[in-house]
Structure 1
């Protein structure tokens, strides 16, 4: 339960109320000094990292493809004749 009277706010006299000036808006100190966003620098770093990653991956992929599919080596006529002879002899053999 409440003990005692409630406090009332003090009211200014009528003639003083009219003399008071209304408060202005908030003062901003950085109005003419905008701050650049931090995100712009991070975007540049991210783009550079993507470019580096893309070039490295493409180089690695090309290297792996070259290893997986070696370039055809040119054989001499004698080597070609021997390889064809082996192909023909392997195809003519039958299992009995």
Structure 2
């Protein structure tokens, strides 16, 4: 429960002038031409296409490298097929 008096809004004396709102610092012209967004959209589309193409070429190259790896030497094959040491249980 609220206690205390209600706040009463004070009224200005009759001789005081009301404040005038200042206008905006920059005013817009009502008949200003609207810029078209086509250039930005086209630019973004071109960027996306180039990125896609570059990524596709890079992926092809990586896949070619992965599939065309040189054969393992005899020592590497022995290491790859050697049994590993048993892992101690914790």
TM-score > 0.5, shorter chain as reference? no
Structure having the larger proportion of residues in helix: 1
TM-score using structure 2 length: 0.42
TM-score, normalized by length of structure 1?
0.40
